[in-house]
Amino acid sequence: MQPQTVPFRARPPWYGGTLQTLRAIRIPVSASLPHGERLWLPLPDGDALAASLHFPEGRRPPPRPLAVLVHGLTGWEDEPYLRDAAAGLLRRGFPVLRLNLRGNDLSRPRSTSHYHLGRSEDIADALRALPGPLVAAGVLLAGWSLGGALTILTLARHAGAAGMPRLLGGAAICPPLQPELAYAAVDANRILGRALLALYRQEVLAVRARDLPPPLREAARRARSLQEFEASVTAPRFGYPSYEVFVEMNRPAAALPALKQPLLLLMAEDDPLVPPASLEGIDWAACPAVVPLLASGGGHCGFYDKAPEGMAVRILGAFCEGVADQAESASAAASQGEGSSPSSIAQQAASAALA
């Protein structure tokens, strides 16, 4: 399916990609959520990820698949875009888990290492640690920015693996499909780029890590760009022989053809951190399970338009409802010897999302 252009009309005063981005990641105007339960999801090496679990209207067991939401670089569960999405999915009857990556502000007390662009095994291990009744209806995984990259890689690498709950599909909002393009855009942005690098450096150095020796700590302090940080710290820290190998082995665009579950991919033409050129050069005919949408505006993870509920929340909500309904129908059809392909599920879910 070729990328489909979606018109966008910004909500005042959030005009332009930069203001949309600031509203999404830094302006503390967040949706209210019902009381949640704090979970600690253990990882095999002894670390654990913090998460907040919410149920719609207090209903248990969950009537619909569990929606697991993953934040972006230097983010956490209370990012405005994550709270907005959680509130929208709860209104639609989905239980929601807001997951904090290893080493972020909330997971830090039980972290001895840190996340990175390709550390999808942390997501997989966290999903394996969830109680069986919570994931009995399946899991829908959604991620923003770096979390979107992890969503794609988790679906491609771990869906159907031993001990994994049933992954019905996923959504990636503004993911760095071609990481080197995103790093270049971040480093060229004097306002957002510098702030993001400073926050990333602070977050990485704050973890009492067992895998960050003094030379890498010094490299983290010296790095003057996100690309330099990944090349001089992240790549050697996690055993990659070079920055180029790190990028190639964790390139989300390269994983798209391997997806067997439907994936919603939402990008913005005016994204200041992940350029729309990231969509170029992809053989979309080889990615039948992917629904690529390119909005004419929305910035990085923003998409605050003139509707009361933002565009990203509406599209994500409709997509999740479509996938959940199709999965239920597919289960009934399978019991009668019929089937449903990922591409047909993706196309039907896309039609619902854009309705």
Alpha carbon distances (Å) from 337 to 136, 142, 306, 330 = 22, 30, 45, 10
**350 pLDDT tier (thresholds 50, 70, 90):** low
Asked whether the predicted pLDDT for residue 4 surpasses 60, the reply is: yes
d(CA 182, CA 44): 31
Quick check: pTM over 0.75?
yes
CATH of 4-176+259-354, one of 1.10.260.40, 3.40.50.300, 3.10.520.10, 3.40.50.1820: 3.40.50.1820
pLDDT at 49: 98
132-140 mean pLDDT: 96
Report yes or no: 170 and 141 within 8 Å, Cβ to Cβ: yes
pLDDT at 337: 43
| CA-based R_g, the chain, Å | 19
- Non-local (6+) Cβ contacts of 247 within 8 A are 179, 180, 230
User: Which candidate, 323, 304, 320, places its Cα nearest to that of 312?
Assistant: 304
pLDDT in tens, 227-274: 999 999 999 999 999 999 999 999 999 999 999 999 999 999 999 999
pLDDT at 346: 63
Report yes or no: 301 and 173 within 8 Å, Cβ to Cβ: yes
Q: Are strands 96-99 and 48-54 parallel, antiparallel or unpaired?
A: antiparallel
Domain residue spans of the chain: 4-176+259-354
pLDDT in tens, 289-323: 999 999 999 999 999 999 999 999 999 999 999 99
pLDDT at 338: 44
Asked whether the predicted pLDDT for residue 354 surpasses 90, the reply is: no
pLDDT in tens, 189-239: 999 999 999 999 999 999 999 999 999 999 999 999 999 999 999 999 999
Name the strands in the sheet holding 139-144, side by side, starting at the edge strand that comes first in the sequence: 4-6, 290-295, 263-268, 167-173, 139-144, 66-70, 96-99, 48-54, 37-42
**63 pLDDT tier (thresholds 50, 70, 90):** confident
d(CA 269, CA 6): 10
Asked whether the predicted pLDDT for residue 112 surpasses 70, the reply is: yes
